[in-house]
Amino acid sequence: GVPFTSGYMMYLLVAAIVVIITLLAINMARGSTGRNWMAVRDMDIAAESMGVSLLKTKLQAFAINAFLCGIAGALYTYTYLKTVEPFAAFNISLSFKIMFMAIIGGLGTISGAFIGAAFILLFPVVLNALGNNVFHGMIDATIISSIEQIVFGGLIITLMIFEPLGFAKLWETLKQKVIRTKS
């Protein structure tokens, strides 16, 4: 086999796995399985009256999501930690970050997972760059961290009230408006 010791090789492996799983998830969401999930999510009584097995559909969704979470945990461990120690690696802070990614990106959307992850991971980098370059390091790292938490909390509250489908829905709406103005 090929040893994946360099950061670049590890990146390629993880990126390939993410692309494959994303394509499979898109395919599954567009197929009968995805339609059953949406029917049960939106109105389970109507879905059951149309012949969708609630128990089978819910168990299937749970099993597939547990499988995907397991793969995500394995990739996170492989990429960042190089060791498996659950108490050091997977703390409550990481759990909240992952939950914030889903909420901010858009619950129930595949693109929302990527948008939310990009925002949660890149926003602190941008905030630190602003603190160092614009304010020439006059803002302490703890203040920047506090600003980060305030923005995340405010975004979550705002999105849950005004746009539960998160940034993914806002992005789609913006694209539609741009398309309408061009035509």
The per-residue pLDDT for range 104-128, each reduced to its tens digit, is 999 888 999 999 999 999 999 998 8
CB 93 within 8 A of CB 153: no
Say which residue the tokens 């923005």 belong to: 151
pLDDT at 133: 82
Query: pLDDT band at 145, cuts 50/70/90?
Result: confident
Whether 166 and 103 have beta carbons less than 8 Å apart is answered as yes
Q: Letter for the amino acid at 169?
A: K
- Percentage with pLDDT > 70 across the chain: 95
The answer on pLDDT for 150 being more than 90 is: yes
Distance between start and end Cα atoms, the chain: 53
**What is the token pair recorded at 94?**
């990481």
Q: What is the pLDDT of residues 19-42, one digit of tens each?
A: 999 999 999 999 999 999 999 999
Mean pLDDT of the chain: 88
Instruction: Indicate if the pLDDT at residue 15 is higher than 90.
Output: yes
Predicted local confidence at residue 164, as pLDDT: 85
Per-residue pLDDT, 92: 84
Instruction: Supply the pLDDT for residue 88.
Output: 67
Helix axis angle, 54-76 relative to 32-42, nearest 10°? Answer: 110
To 5 degrees, how large is the angle CA 107–CA 113–CA 128?
115
